[in-house]
């Protein structure tokens, strides 16, 4: 039988991509994590990680298990917290705004866990473009918003706190000439057709890395669909640079996408919670903000 501790160790390694980094985060020995993962794989009868020279990468089975492991961890935490809930339980409404990209990758898992822990708090979700989210925060129509902090407009009275930094890497097909490289220069990537994801200013961010020295890529395809970009890359028709948040190794038709480190320092994708600086947040909004900061 798998234990909650093993689930915690597995999720830490899956998030960090390295046993050493997970061990530091959990403040335990690397050997304890290594043995735990081996015991899990033996119990499940399948490999959860692919061992690489640069660390560990989830197998397809590992990707599937990770989804359920998050639910298990959330349920456990909710069960523990429910014991301590008393008559002074927080109640109320939180108006949370977000873009579609961040709602897909961040909002729902956190809100699911938050709702289990605080059943008397209603979270009302609004999905809009960044400009609309900023306007609604300033006007008091929203309490919080999930945003890419680098895209926030300065000087309009908003505060934000980053809760997740995601590396940007080059995506290629399994048989692409660059795939076997440990790291690739932007100038090398620029020699191949390029796909751009057009969402949450990802197109601006994705093309901001290029300079006169690196050259500019030949943009073959621009789409608001991450699955379309993923598929084009997987079939070898283009490469792209996107954050690890959006990465999934398998396309809808079962083709694989690889990630390669970039030699140049490319800014991370910084995700955070924003709120109106001069507006005092109520207890429900504060709790939800803390929930995202712990995620």
DSSP 191-250: TSEEEEE-STTHHHHHHTT--TTT---EEEEEES-HHHHHHHHHTTS-BEEEEGGG--SB
* pLDDT tens column, 277-290: 988 899 999 999 99
Residues 6+ apart with CB under 8 A from 190: 210, 214, 215, 216, 217, 218
Which pLDDT does position 87 carry in this prediction? 41
Does one domain contain both 161 and 174? no
Please choose, from the candidates 101, 98, 97, the residue with its C-alpha nearest in 3D space to the C-alpha of residue 198.
101
Does one domain contain both 43 and 175? no
Classify burial at 10, counting beta carbons within 10 Å of its beta carbon; exposed 0-12, middle 13-18, buried 19 or more.
buried
Task: Work out how many domains the chain is built from and give that number.
Answer: 3
Does one domain contain both 110 and 147? yes
What is the CA 147 to chain-centroid distance, rounded?
A: 12
Which pLDDT does position 27 carry in this prediction? 81
Which pLDDT does position 108 carry in this prediction? 85
List the structure tokens of 244. Answer: 């690890």
List the structure tokens of 178. Answer: 């660059």
CATH of the domain at 174: 3.40.190.10
Which pLDDT does position 82 carry in this prediction? 57
Domain stops at, among 66, 82, 98: 82
Does one domain contain both 202 and 244? yes
User: What's the rounded Cα separation, in Å, for the pair 171 and 178?
Assistant: 10
Domain stops at, among 38, 63, 82: 82
3-state secondary structure of 287: helix
Q: Model pTM?
A: 0.67
Which pLDDT does position 86 carry in this prediction? 46
> 256: how many CB neighbours lie within 10 A of its CB?
12
Which pLDDT does position 89 carry in this prediction? 78
Does one domain contain both 68 and 29? yes
Which pLDDT does position 156 carry in this prediction? 94
> 7: how many CB neighbours lie within 10 A of its CB?
19
pLDDT less than 50: residues of the chain: 85-87
Q: What is the residue range of 173's domain?
A: 168-267
């Amino acid at each position: 039988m798998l234990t909650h501790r093993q689930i915690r160790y597995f999720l830490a390694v899956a998030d960090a991509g390295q046993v050493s980094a997970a061990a530091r985060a959990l403040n335990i020995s690397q050997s304890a994590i290594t043995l735990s993962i081996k015991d899990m794989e033996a119990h499940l009868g399948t490999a959860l990680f692919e061992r690489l020279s640069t660390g560990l990468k989830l197998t397809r089975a590992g990707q599937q298990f990770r989804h359920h492991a998050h639910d298990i961890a959330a349920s456990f935490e909710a069960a523990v917290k429910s014991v301590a809930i008393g008559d002074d339980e927080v109640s109320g409404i939180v108006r949370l705004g977000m873009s579609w990209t961040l709602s897909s990758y961040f909002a729902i898992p956190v809100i699911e866990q938050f709702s289990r822990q605080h059943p008397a708090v209603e979270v009302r979700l609004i999905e809009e473009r960044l400009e609309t989210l900023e306007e609604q925060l300033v006007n008091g129509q929203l309490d919080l918003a999930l945003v890419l902090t680098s895209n926030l407009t300065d000087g309009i009275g908003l505060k934000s706190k980053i809760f997740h930094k995601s590396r940007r890497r080059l995506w290629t097909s399994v048989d692409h000439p660059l795939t076997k490289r440990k790291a690739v220069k932007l100038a090398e990537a620029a020699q191949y057709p390029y796909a751009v994801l057009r969402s949450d200013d990802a197109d601006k961010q994705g093309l901001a890395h290029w300079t006169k020295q690196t050259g500019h890529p030949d943009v073959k395809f621009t789409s608001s669909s991450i699955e379309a970009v993923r598929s084009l890359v997987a079939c070898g028709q283009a490469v792209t640079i996107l954050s690890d948040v959006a990465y999934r190794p398998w396309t809808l038709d079962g083709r694989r996408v690889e990630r390669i480190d970039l030699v140049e320092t490319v800014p991370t994708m910084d995700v955070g919670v924003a709120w109106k600086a001069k507006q005092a947040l109520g207890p429900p909004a504060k709790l939800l903000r803390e929930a995202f900061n712990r995620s």
